[in-house]
Amino acid sequence: MAVRLGFLSTYTPTQCGIATFTAALVAHIHAGGDQVGVVRLVDEPQPESWPVAFEWVTGRPGDAEHVARVLDGYDVAVIQHEYGIFGGTDGQDVLEVATRLHVPLVTVLHTVLTQPTAGQHRVLDLLVEASVAVVTMTETARDRLIAGWGVDPERVHVIAHGADDNRAPQLRPAGPPATPTRPPTVLTWGLLSEGKGIEWALLALAELRERIPLPEYQVVGQTHPRVLEREGEAYRDRLLAITRDLSLTGSVHFDARYLAGPELRRVVREADVILLPYDSLEQVTSGVLTEAVAAGKPVISTRFPHAVELLAGGAGQLVPQRDATAIADALEHVLRGDGVAARMAAVSQSLAEQLLWPAVAAQYSALASSVLVAATPVAATPVVG
C-alpha cells in the first residue's frame, strides 16, 4: 500500500543543498509509487506548484501551527534538519511544528556536531525526542548522535545521500588524458563560501607548477545566497586576488553560475579529478562528494568525516585540512601516477549503484512504511465464548 509522506524542508527553486536534496528525494519516492507533498521553507512567498502544499514564511505569525496541520494530513511527516534553515535562535522554530504533530515524525539530520552550543544541543535533543525515527547519512553521524545525545541506536537509521546516475555516457575516460594536447581538468563545485578551502587549492597549484605541467582548475558555483546577503562577494574577490598574485590566471577558471541538472552533470563528467579542499572537520554529509563518487570520478579530499568514510575503500585520496603541500602531492600522485586515477575511478564506479537516488528513495519509503505500521494500533482479537 502506498504511503503518503509530507516533507518540511527548503525546496527548489531555493538554491541550497538541502533544497536540491529534497527535490530529488521527493521525485524518486513519488516515482516509486508513494504519495508526496512538501511544506517549503522560504524567506519570501514564492509561486506554489506540485508537490508544494504550503509555504512556511520565516517569521510569519501562525505559520508553525498551520504547517503542523498540513503535515498531519499525511501518513508520515519528514523534517529535513539543518540549524540554519529554520527561524529562531539555533533554528528553534522547528520545534513549534515537531511538538504539534500527531502523525509519526522522521527527522533527517544533515548536521550532527561534536561540540554543539547549549542551544544547538537543546534543539536537536527535543527534535529527536519528538521523532519516532532519525536518519543520518553516515555512520560517523550516527555514532555522534548516539554518543552525544544518548539516542537509542535502534531509532537511528543510516541512509546514504543520493546522487543522479552520471556514469554514462562518459564523454572521456576517467583520469588524465592520453595525449599532451589537453591538460587534465580538476574540478571543485558547489555554493561558494568561507570554509570551502579554495585558497589552499590555489596555493597547492603554485607548488605543483614547479613539478609538473599544471592541470586546468575549474571552480564552479555561485556564492551562497545567505553569504551574499551578509558579505557580498568578499570571498570570491579574495580568491581572484590570490589567483592573480600567484600568476595562475591561465590555469584557474571561476564560473559563478549556479549549475544544476544536465549542465552540472556534463561539467562533472568532463572533469578528470574532483578536488574537495574543505576546511571543516565536522562535515558529516556532502552532496558534492556523493555526486563525485557516483559519477565514477577519482577524488582528492580533505579529511572531513563523510570523506573519510566514503573514500576509505580507495575511491580517493585524503589530505589534511589547510595543507597546500599535501594537496599538491596528492594532485601529482593522481595526475601522474601510473594507473592511480583509473584505480580510484574503478572503486568509485563500484560504489555508485548504492548511492543512486532510486535505491536511496526506496530505503526512505521502506522506513516510512515501517514507522507507519509500528504506529498503527493493532485491532483487538474478539473473545469467543
pLDDT the model gives residue 62: 86
Q: Is residue 178 in some structural domain?
A: no
Q: Which residue has the higher pLDDT, 101 or 353?
A: 101
Q: Please, are residues 33 and 5 in contact by the beta-carbon 8 Å criterion?
A: no
Asked if residue 256 and residue 278 are part of one domain, the reply reads yes
Asked if residue 289 and residue 156 are part of one domain, the reply reads no
pTM, whole model, 2 decimals? 0.89
Using pLDDT thresholds of 50, 70 and 90, give the confidence band for residue 172: very low
Average of per-residue pLDDT across 295-309 = 96
Nearest Cα to Cα of residue 286 among 189, 144, 167, 166: 189
Q: Please, are residues 192 and 221 in contact by the beta-carbon 8 Å criterion?
A: yes
Asked if residue 365 and residue 256 are part of one domain, the reply reads no
Asked if residue 29 and residue 72 are part of one domain, the reply reads yes
Nearest Cα to Cα of residue 93 among 63, 69, 54, 55: 63
Asked if residue 83 and residue 152 are part of one domain, the reply reads yes
Average pLDDT of the chain, as a whole number: 92
pLDDT tens digits, 43-66? 889 888 999 999 999 888 889 999
Report the alpha-carbon distance of residue 328 to residue 348 in Å, rounded.
22
Beta bridge partners of 273: 186
155 Cβ neighbours under 8 A, 6+ residues apart: 131, 132, 133, 134
**What CATH number does residue 293 fall under?**
3.40.50.2000
Q: Is residue 385 in some structural domain?
A: no
Is residue 342 over pLDDT 90? yes
Asked if residue 152 and residue 84 are part of one domain, the reply reads yes
Q: Is residue 176 in some structural domain?
A: no
Asked if residue 243 and residue 361 are part of one domain, the reply reads no
pLDDT the model gives residue 182: 82
Is residue 132 over pLDDT 90? yes
Percent of the chain surpassing pLDDT 70: 95
Q: Please, are residues 277 and 203 in contact by the beta-carbon 8 Å criterion?
A: no
Q: How many CB atoms lie within 10 A of CB 65?
A: 11
Task: Give the CA radius of gyration of the chain.
Answer: 22
Q: Which domain holds residue 325?
A: 185-354
Residue 126 grid cell: 527535543
Q: Is residue 167 in some structural domain?
A: no
Q: Is residue 317 in some structural domain?
A: yes
Using pLDDT thresholds of 50, 70 and 90, give the confidence band for residue 209: very high
State how many domains the chain has.
2
Report the alpha-carbon distance of residue 199 to residue 235 in Å, rounded.
10
Task: Find the farthest-apart pair of alpha carbons in the chain and give their distance in angstroms, rounded.
Answer: 92
pLDDT the model gives residue 169: 54
Q: Please, are residues 100 and 68 in contact by the beta-carbon 8 Å criterion?
A: yes
Asked if residue 349 and residue 260 are part of one domain, the reply reads yes
Q: Is residue 174 in some structural domain?
A: no
